[in-house]
A = this chain, B = another copy of it.
């Protein structure tokens, strides 16, 4: 088995990434294709199959040389059945059968989990998580997702919603979330949440600040704009970042208080802001954790970036063997 390989697939709304990885986590080959979501996304799985078979030909490899294929997918994933439903950004309205179809066409064992869980496994295995048995991952992108590995197990809960850190209530009665409830972390710490806070604070802000000028002037303001201005000590942008860090710090403190992981790893596009985010969150994390957690649970920025998905997806195959 030692010279057998893994295939990791990170299925996203615009790109599908692939990698061939050793059981030790070394990425040997990487490629990607566009995700063709036209015609109800019916080409997505056939395109994945074609791409795998094409690359195995290219590298002169056979299915017997692989322990398995792991994939991360948007939507609601049924692990046992290997199916996905309600992946609206792929135009998959009904239930799709990646495991059945990919196993039949490649003759390689196939495992699947949701995209945030898979990224959590990746960061835990080869990234900032140091392969520790207790790692929580939060990803700050257009939305906020996450995954919890506790005592070496990726948690799913009774209905697959464990690790949905984006819906932690950080402000009861606060901003309305797409999930229908109010005050979700996602509304305060995603890229859109940062901009939402910026616009609301700009409206009330009476001082002189570049961020206020840009908002009032109708210019495009992104999460990156806000963090960049804060790095330049723009007074309003600094207040916005502080607010974002307060909510994220509170949510992650409560992750710490409940789970006491070794690391809480912060990834996703918003985390590219780097130390200004990490240091701000650290302050509120410390304020809201009790001493033993404050001293033993560490916050870290993710290190794998885009590769977390394929690496973590590949590791699904190994996780399964360990249990």
A residues neighboring B (CB under 8 Å): 132, 134, 148, 150-151, 153, 155-165, 167-169, 172, 177, 179-184, 246, 250, 253-255, 257-262, 287-293, 295-297
Which of chain B's residues has its CB closest to A184's CB?
Answer: B290
Q: Among A155, A179, A180, find the residue whose CB has the most chain B CB atoms closer than 10 A.
A: A155
Contact A169 B258 (CB under 8 A): no
Contact B291 A260 (CB under 8 A): no
Contact A167 B287 (CB under 8 A): no
Known A155-B151, A158-B134: A181·B287 in contact at CB below 8 Å: yes
Contact B134 A180 (CB under 8 A): no
CA distance A260 to B164 in the complex (A): 9
Given contacts A158-B296, A167-B257, A172-B288, could you give 18 more A-B pairs where the C-beta distance is less than 8 Å? A134-B162, A148-B258, A148-B259, A150-B153, A151-B151, A151-B156, A153-B153, A155-B259, A157-B259, A157-B293, A159-B293, A159-B296, A164-B290, A169-B250, A169-B254, A172-B250, A180-B291, A181-B289
CA distance A86 to B107 in the complex (A): 57
CA distance A261 to B165 in the complex (A): 14
CA distance A304 to B2 in the complex (A): 50
Chain B residues with Cβ below 8 Å from A182 are 287
Chain B residues with Cβ below 8 Å from A259 are 148, 155, 157, 162, 258
Contact B261 A158 (CB under 8 A): yes
Q: Can you list 16 residue pairs at the A/B interface with Cβ under 8 Å?
A: A148-B259, A150-B151, A151-B151, A151-B153, A151-B156, A158-B260, A160-B292, A161-B292, A164-B292, A169-B253, A169-B254, A169-B289, A179-B291, A181-B287, A181-B290, A255-B258
Q: Which of B132, B254, B288, B292 contacts A254 (CB 8 A)?
A: B254
Chain B residues with Cβ below 8 Å from A159 are 260, 292-293, 295-297
Contact A293 B172 (CB under 8 A): no
Q: Which of B158, B258, B290 contacts A258 (CB 8 A)?
A: B258
Chain B residues with Cβ below 8 Å from A156 are 151, 260
Chain B residues with Cβ below 8 Å from A183 are 288
Which of chain B's residues has its CB closest to A183's CB?
Answer: B288
CA distance A167 to B297 in the complex (A): 15
Chain B residues with Cβ below 8 Å from A160 are 260, 292
In order of increasing CB-CB distance, the 3 nearest A-B pairs are A157-B260, A159-B296, A161-B260
CA distance A288 to B251 in the complex (A): 13
CA distance A132 to B180 in the complex (A): 29
Contact B287 A257 (CB under 8 A): no
CA distance A197 to B3 in the complex (A): 64
Chain B residues with Cβ below 8 Å from A162 are 134, 150, 258-260
CA distance A257 to B258 in the complex (A): 12
